[in-house]
Structure 1
Amino acid sequence: MTVYLGAAPGVGKTYAMLDEARRRLERGTDVVVGYVETHGRQHTEGKLDGLEVLPRRRIVYRDTEFTELDVDAVLERRPAVVLIDELAHTNVPGSRHAKRYQDIADLRAAGIEVITTVNIQHLESLNDEVERITGVRQRETVPDEVVRTADAIQLVDMAPEALRRRMAHGNIYRPENIDASLASYFRVGNLTALRELALLWLADRVDDALGDYRRAHRIEHPWPTKERIVVAVTGGPESVTLLRRGARLAQRAAGSELIALHVVAADGLRTHDEQTITRTVELARSLGASYHSVVGEDVPAAVVDFASGANATMIVVGVSRHGRLRRSFLGTTGDRIAQLAGSIDVHLVTHEQVAGRWRPGRLTSALPIRRQVAGWLLALALPLALAELLRLPEISSGQLDLVTLVLLASTVLIALVGGLLPAMLGAVVSFLSLNWWFTPPTGTFTIAEPRNLLTLVVFVAVAIGVATVVDRASRLASDALRARTEATTMTSLSRSVLTGQDTAEAIVQRVRETFGQSAVSLLERTPGGWALLAGDGADPPTRPGDGVAEVVVDDDHLLVLRGEPLRAGDRRVLEAFGIQTSLVLEYRRLREREVRAALLESTEATSTALLRAVSHDLRTPLATMRASVDGLRTAEVDAADRRLLLDALGDAGEQLERLIDNLLDLSRVQAGLVRPQLVSASLDEALLPALVGFAPGEVSLEFGDDVPWVLTDPGLLERVVANLVGNAVRVSAGVPVRVLAHVGRDAVDILVVDRGPGVPPEQRERMFEPFQRLDDHSPGGLGLGLAVARGLTEALGGRLSAEDTPAGGLTMVLSLPRAPGVEDDARVDATGGVR
């Protein structure tokens, strides 16, 4: 498929398409015109000369004839190339497909090449943007993917001033439409914006094609077709500085793309501040950047791999925050990225968080205070107690290595209990104990042999190293457990929000259970202060400040917790609960608005249809009655004419009465005022009176006396059956309507079978809506009969649906519950046996 993409109407898409067709025809290609719309333009019509034009399909819709693409004719002709204009066109009902691009898909599947046209404003993804620019909503759209799958896309462009001159010369619209178009849709600003949209969209399509080509040919190094800047954000406060610097770099080259990248450690443990990440994401979006988060064990390699895959031209990275010692031995992330980047430029940015001073926060412990106290006590007491035990003669004699190992084990135990700092103190105390009691000369801190000095130094180094590893492992295990708990909680929150299962009451209950609080309240701001919207627990807080923690849900709602103080790490999960609460409240507001909007829409539709009905259908019998009365007033009317006028007057009165009865019944059904009196009744009792008004031979009642009784209101059931049979008789064209009964285990189905034209499956539910007449053009109807019939059936506790008649037509299925305890007696025959 080849698509000629126009920036605006009138730029010459169809003209260019016909030009290509003529060139292909001259080269011997079998080209035909399937559908081309010239809009009366002489130059375009001239391009059709010499081309084979296939006949169009003619479709009559609402008494008007339309022409559409004849897909069957194209498939029968099977040309090599077919020209089809207006890809986004919506076909007239009754066509092969609803949209023209679906017709084209059939032709492509058959191996026929298609050349087509479309304007940029008809692309689905740009529909909202075009409406904001031009103020015109495009009703006919085509999915972007349909155009993207084309083998070639040709942009047909024209300068706005040239396009306006073409319109002024009468080459696009009729003279009477030129001034209005130039003053509205075809303003210079609108055309310029549409032109830019077309260029940008096509540039993305070309970029996708370039990416496909690079992947297909395994080209790993980037091709700098346009400036793409990847900013490697760390999750720290310097991320803001890096993003702003990257944005300034992107602004220097028009059309540059800014990408923010955050690499998460492969172990999944949190090593960054969530609030900082949130602010970074918001800043990236405000700067027009896309934000991406990837997982990687090697951060520099992950950054370079992402940048290569994105065809980036520059990587912006910050100067390392680590100290000089670590930078000297392990290098920095920026250095490794520069080594791996290859042809991608690396921009190193300094910031305020560059390492330069010692930060005591690095040594703070995340362990509970009780474990820290226990660790400090063990650091002082355990090495001394072990040293005192190991001083026994049978142990200490020549066993310096054994003593060293035991004290090293005590240092590991202290690290497990109290963390790194108590373990370091324990290592020093153990060192002093070894030196005082076990290293000759004992009783002093003097060391006689260099070998013993080396042993003590190695002991301290190993003890501190082991304590560091143990402390880090303990921290990681604690973080992993906390991360898993938070992930489970977040997953549960996300699932409940997506499924819409939570309520305000359920949320406060979950908050109380999750954080172990005694009471939780959701407060709502009112003109008189704060009111309790939902609460859980004993004596829930009723105003702000009554609890140990609060989280703002929105401007008018607040979560208040009462109980044990929360840890700092729990605050993030609590914020997630606040966000979920706001979503639940927003869903509740949206549902209420949706219900009100649906009610208003239904009321408006009913009112509009009722006014239309009153203005037409109710006037028809009134006009007949008035004409009959006027005729009866004249003295020249003979007896025969008088009888005809009286019959017409009676028929019009009955018709008017039926219409008014249907309107009243519909209003009663919609208001829920129908109160059926359910009794056990036989079908004969209800069906025979319903068929009295029909002529002999119009209806065939086909069931016996053994049909069980049903639980129903005979009067309402008569109305329903009469309505269904009346509709069936009207469409059966003289073929008798059959009324059958099918007995089920719990219900009896009444089948009203006609041989009319039937109703398509997709329209069967719609025909039960008020004022829906579908293809019924018979006079005197408002389209209320089936709506009233279904409403009355549901009031009776039954169901009304429509099915296909196997031999053609429609079968209405009226299902009613069987009457308990009555059907058994009705089914016993004269011999006492059960049939």
Structure 2
Amino acid sequence: MTMPGAGPRAARRGRLTVYLGAAPGVGKTYAMLDEAERRRGRGTDVVVGLVETHGRAGTAAKVGTLEVIPRREVTYRGTRLTELDVDAVIARAPEVVLVDELAHSNAPGSKHPQRWQDVHDLLDAGIDVVTTVNVQHLASLTDDVEAITGVRQQETLPDQVVRDAEQIQLVDLSPHQLRRRLAHGNVYRSEQIDASLSQYFREGNLTALREVALLWLADRVDDALTRYRVDHDIGSMWPARERIVVAVTGGEESETLVRRASRIAQRAAGSELLAVHVLATDGLPSAPPAAIAAQRSLVESLDGTFHTVLGEDVPSAVIDFARGVNATMVVVGVSRHSRWRQALLGSSSNEIARLSGAIDVHLVTHEKARTGVRVPSRFSSLSRGRRVAGWVSAVVVPALLATLFAWLDRDPDNLPSHLMIYLAGVVAVALVGGRWPALVAAVLSFVVLNWFNTEPTGQLVVDRPEDVLALAVFVVVAASVASVVDLAARRTIQAYRARAEASTLAALSRAVLSGEDTAEAIVQRLNLTFGLDEVRLEARGAERARWEPVATAGHARTSSTATVVRIDDGRRLVLHGRALAASDRQVVEAFGSQAGIALEHRELREQAAAARTLEHAEATRTALLAAVSHDLRTPLSAIRAAVDGLSSDVSLDLEDTAALVDTIQDSTGRLERLIDNLLDLSRLQTGSVQPVLRRASLEEVVPVAVEPWVGALDLDLPEDLPLVTTDVGLLERVVANLVSNAVRHSPAGAAVRVSASATRDSIEIRVADAGPGVPDERKQTMFAPFQRLDDRGGAGLGLGLAVADGLATAVGATVTAEDTPGGGLTMLVTVPRDGVSADGHRGGADG
């Protein structure tokens, strides 16, 4: 029956309501059924798609008279299973459907592997869904729940599935109430109660799970609040949750600020710590990269997050960031500037407090407060030669111009033209020597003009007002032009230096990305970049341990200056040679920081490689134990049973005796093959296989290899095949393993075809069967150990193909898998022809 209104509902997506349980047994299914009753009482068409009662009488009774959609039956490995019938629910088209246990994994053969995907189909059909899930099934909390309870959840679902729900209802009980429900038999059967109370349902576990659920739900509510404020353009702060923003500068006091802010954040559960560093765009030097990296690590170790923002004005940038994250408090340090500098220019901390508005500002004092900050000299950007030339030209240019005018033009009325020429001289001095030489040149030019070009001449006196104005304008213009020219020259130098620094760091980054991240490569590049005598990277294992050299480039002279740059507590750079400028030191610190990151990444890669090796060895050991426990036991059991039968007092006829002897022979052969494969795999993994290559014909190899199965084969071996270069015994094992595998997987009565053909450089042996074949995705892993091609539990460890591939590689051959035309699997063995190397190059006749 299709209810009226189903068509319009399909035009919209259904709404999802989730009852989130803090732990099993808190009553989320009961709460879901309670809501269904309320909705039906309001006239809503509600049906039960799937509800799991787990034998609880109260839950079963709660279903009451609700319409229940029959479940879909699935048979898997002889077991009858029932699942949600999505198609039946969509055909019924109710307004609301109840679907229990959202994280459930569906039986194999279902349309979707998990139930939450079925729920998405129902929502797409315009049907509202009410569902349940426990917090331990959320994927992001799997590790946390395992750490609390010691149980790894096998059924999980993405957090976003629940976050996207229209409504989330938390279903919770106190640990005492839940344990009492469990003890009364309201959750599990009586035989499970004692074990549950002493393990998963310990009071500490339940308390922790309850807190995890509350914090996760608080995050979801916080996301909703953020979206609401953005959608409604609300810029004011809503203090729904404690967020502490700490402003870090990269200075020594920042560690004190971060730790103080962390203690403040710990006072309230669920508080967040956010550190913000402002990169000013006013051209002033920023904090050393190594200091910022250290403070970032400190913040992250305290479970905070580190953020870097750009801003022309540091206080405004800090407050804008705090408002953007809905912060409740900003932690700043007392200014390091002296009192007179604060009185003249103000301080960032005071400005942050003025701009904060409703956000609290916590001012932290520290050892560096008001100790003063050294202002870097701007004079040092010009070379020594330019400075000397500037001061010389500041004296020579006015004198030279005065001499020139004394010879060529002594008319006092030409003051305006003389002013322009002297102004050009002042600009030239500014271009050479910068601001201060230009100002000195302007003053000297003023004196010369006053002495030679204004009445009365020969005296430093000016009688006419227009001359006074001209001279004053000259000094002001000369000083202004000199300042602008000097600033432009310095900015040009800074731009060149910044480009050089960027190129240097880019070169280092390219080296790291290209894999050139060894300690030797880093110190060598640093040595070449800065033209030093020696660069040494040193490391130590403990704080007070001795520094030991890790890598060295160059040779230090006894008279060279040593500069030490700390990377972190365990590594440092020692540079011998010229004294580094402050700007160069910042680049070196960036080098050091990058070097530290590169070395850490290398150590992590090495640890990951070692872990993968151990993991592979552990997986191999586990698979071997599991396989050996079954596959070796089976033939041994058959042999034991046959021997017991032969040695018993029961009189056996010849037919029974022969059957028992055949059983012993077959089982012994199986044991031999299993042990041979295990020994071969061990030899391959330890690299102890040493092939003896010689000229050989395939007639020496193939007939011997296939002899045990010759009755089940179709053999096509041309007599005129060229010779190959191989180890006859090992190649025979390769072919035998492939033929054995093909015969085992071929249908009864279907022959396995073994053929050979020649190409220009190799001989190809094909073993083709008409079995079920192998999917393309399995062909990538079928040569790995312990990989069986089906689940029939055949007599083998899944080593045949792995051994065949390993032995083939040892003799210079290759094994690949192809599909057999008409169905089945073809194994192709490619063996080099005599006189052709494994890579296809023709050589001598000797193998």
- TM-score normalised to structure 1 length: 0.83
Kindly provide the amino acid, as one letter, of the partner of residue 721 in structure 1: V
Check if 1:654 corresponds to 2:669.
Answer: yes
Contact 2:768 2:825 in 1 (8 A): yes
Question: How much has 1:52 moved relative to structure 2?
Answer: 1.2
| Structure 2 partner of 1:582 | 596
Check if 1:715 corresponds to 2:765.
Answer: no
Selected match of 2:746 from 732, 736, 744: 732
* TM-aligned CA distance change 1:733 to 1:319, over 3 Å: same
| Structure 1 partner of 2:221 | 206
Selected match of 1:51 from 67, 72, 77: 67
Kindly provide the amino acid, as one letter, of the partner of residue 737 in structure 2: N
Selected match of 1:186 from 173, 194, 201: 201
Selected match of 2:310 from 295, 306, 319: 295
Kindly provide the amino acid, as one letter, of the partner of residue 453 in structure 1: V
| Structure 1 partner of 2:845 | none
* TM-aligned CA distance change 1:78 to 1:733, over 3 Å: farther
Question: How much has 1:724 moved relative to structure 2?
Answer: 1.7
Question: How much has 1:94 moved relative to structure 2?
Answer: 5.2
* TM-aligned CA distance change 1:322 to 1:630, over 3 Å: closer
Question: How much has 1:519 moved relative to structure 2?
Answer: 3.7
Moved more, 302-311 or 657-666: 302-311
Moved more, 89-98 or 374-383: 89-98
Kindly provide the amino acid, as one letter, of the partner of residue 52 in structure 1: V
Selected match of 2:687 from 669, 672, 676: 672
Question: How much has 1:232 moved relative to structure 2?
Answer: 5.5
Question: How much has 1:121 moved relative to structure 2?
Answer: 2.7
Q: Give distance in 2, aligned partners of 1:262 and 1:554.
A: 20
Q: Give distance in 2, aligned partners of 1:671 and 1:810.
A: 30
- TM-score normalised to structure 2 length: 0.82
Selected match of 2:185 from 148, 170, 179: 170
Selected match of 2:409 from 388, 394, 404: 394
Q: Give distance in 1, aligned partners of 2:268 and 2:539.
A: 50
Contact 1:7 1:195 in 2 (8 A): yes
Q: Give distance in 2, aligned partners of 1:30 and 1:302.
A: 54
Q: Where does 1:10-25 land on structure 2 (aligned, <5 Å)?
A: 10-25=25-40
Structure 2 residue runs without a partner (length 5+)? 1-15, 838-847
| Structure 2 partner of 1:775 | 790
Q: Give distance in 1, aligned partners of 2:345 and 2:185.
A: 74
1:569 partner SS: helix
Question: How much has 1:645 moved relative to structure 2?
Answer: 3.1
1:125 partner SS: helix
Selected match of 1:794 from 789, 809, 822: 809
Check if 1:127 corresponds to 2:148.
Answer: no
Q: Give distance in 2, aligned partners of 1:819 and 1:290.
A: 65
2:456 partner SS: coil
Check if 1:618 corresponds to 2:635.
Answer: no
Q: Give distance in 2, aligned partners of 1:454 and 1:340.
A: 46
Q: Give distance in 2, aligned partners of 1:373 and 1:507.
A: 38
2:442 partner SS: helix
Check if 1:6 corresponds to 2:15.
Answer: no
Q: Give distance in 2, aligned partners of 1:28 and 1:815.
A: 74
Selected match of 1:699 from 703, 713, 722: 713
| Structure 2 partner of 1:155 | 170
Q: Give distance in 1, aligned partners of 2:341 and 2:591.
A: 40
Selected match of 1:536 from 553, 564, 570: 553
Question: How much has 1:644 moved relative to structure 2?
Answer: 2.9
Q: Give distance in 2, aligned partners of 1:381 and 1:728.
A: 100
Give the paired residue count. 816
Q: Give distance in 2, aligned partners of 1:589 and 1:325.
A: 50
Once the two structures are superposed, residues 612-668 of structure 1 have per-residue CA deviations (whole angstroms, 9 ceiling, x without a partner) of 455443343334434444444467444333333333332232222222211221122
Check if 1:422 corresponds to 2:404.
Answer: no
| Structure 2 partner of 1:146 | 161
Question: How much has 1:788 moved relative to structure 2?
Answer: 0.8
Contact 1:314 1:344 in 2 (8 A): no
Check if 1:438 corresponds to 2:453.
Answer: yes
* TM-aligned CA distance change 1:655 to 1:277, over 3 Å: closer
Selected match of 1:465 from 475, 480, 484: 480
Structure 1 residue runs without a partner (length 5+)? 823-835
1:365 partner SS: helix
Check if 1:365 corresponds to 2:380.
Answer: yes
Selected match of 1:86 from 81, 101, 119: 101
Question: How much has 1:787 moved relative to structure 2?
Answer: 1.4
Contact 1:30 1:79 in 2 (8 A): yes
| Structure 1 partner of 2:391 | 376
Once the two structures are superposed, residues 391-424 of structure 1 have per-residue CA deviations (whole angstroms, 9 ceiling, x without a partner) of 4342664232333333333333333333333333
Q: Give distance in 1, aligned partners of 2:596 and 2:200.
A: 41
Q: Give distance in 2, aligned partners of 1:74 and 1:749.
A: 57
Kindly provide the amino acid, as one letter, of the partner of residue 399 in structure 1: N
Once the two structures are superposed, residues 142-166 of structure 1 have per-residue CA deviations (whole angstroms, 9 ceiling, x without a partner) of 3322322223222222233322332
| Structure 1 partner of 2:12 | none
Check if 1:757 corresponds to 2:766.
Answer: no
Q: Give distance in 2, aligned partners of 1:546 and 1:722.
A: 72
Once the two structures are superposed, residues 352-372 of structure 1 have per-residue CA deviations (whole angstroms, 9 ceiling, x without a partner) of 999999977566533333333
Question: How much has 1:791 moved relative to structure 2?
Answer: 0.9
Q: Give distance in 2, aligned partners of 1:351 and 1:426.
A: 47
Moved more, 421-430 or 235-244: 235-244
* TM-aligned CA distance change 1:501 to 1:146, over 3 Å: farther
2:797 partner SS: coil
Contact 2:74 2:107 in 1 (8 A): no
Contact 1:617 1:781 in 2 (8 A): yes
Kindly provide the amino acid, as one letter, of the partner of residue 747 in structure 2: A
* TM-aligned CA distance change 1:802 to 1:104, over 3 Å: farther
Question: How much has 1:170 moved relative to structure 2?
Answer: 2.2
* TM-aligned CA distance change 1:789 to 1:531, over 3 Å: same
1:398 partner SS: helix
Check if 1:570 corresponds to 2:555.
Answer: no
Once the two structures are superposed, residues 537-576 of structure 1 have per-residue CA deviations (whole angstroms, 9 ceiling, x without a partner) of 4x479xx998733445566655443333322222233233
* TM-aligned CA distance change 1:77 to 1:767, over 3 Å: farther
* TM-aligned CA distance change 1:156 to 1:559, over 3 Å: same
Contact 2:137 2:153 in 1 (8 A): yes
Kindly provide the amino acid, as one letter, of the partner of residue 68 in structure 2: E
| Structure 1 partner of 2:9 | none
* TM-aligned CA distance change 1:631 to 1:303, over 3 Å: closer
Question: How much has 1:11 moved relative to structure 2?
Answer: 1.9
Q: Give distance in 2, aligned partners of 1:283 and 1:599.
A: 32
Q: Give distance in 2, aligned partners of 1:616 and 1:357.
A: 78
Question: How much has 1:453 moved relative to structure 2?
Answer: 3.0
* TM-aligned CA distance change 1:328 to 1:158, over 3 Å: same
* TM-aligned CA distance change 1:595 to 1:288, over 3 Å: closer
Contact 1:679 1:712 in 2 (8 A): yes
Contact 1:269 1:480 in 2 (8 A): no
Kindly provide the amino acid, as one letter, of the partner of residue 434 in structure 1: L
Question: How much has 1:669 moved relative to structure 2?
Answer: 1.5
Contact 2:560 2:578 in 1 (8 A): no
Moved more, 346-355 or 730-739: 346-355
Q: Give distance in 2, aligned partners of 1:589 and 1:439.
A: 78
Once the two structures are superposed, residues 210-236 of structure 1 have per-residue CA deviations (whole angstroms, 9 ceiling, x without a partner) of 332343344455555445565555666
Question: How much has 1:503 moved relative to structure 2?
Answer: 1.8
Q: Percent identity?
A: 55
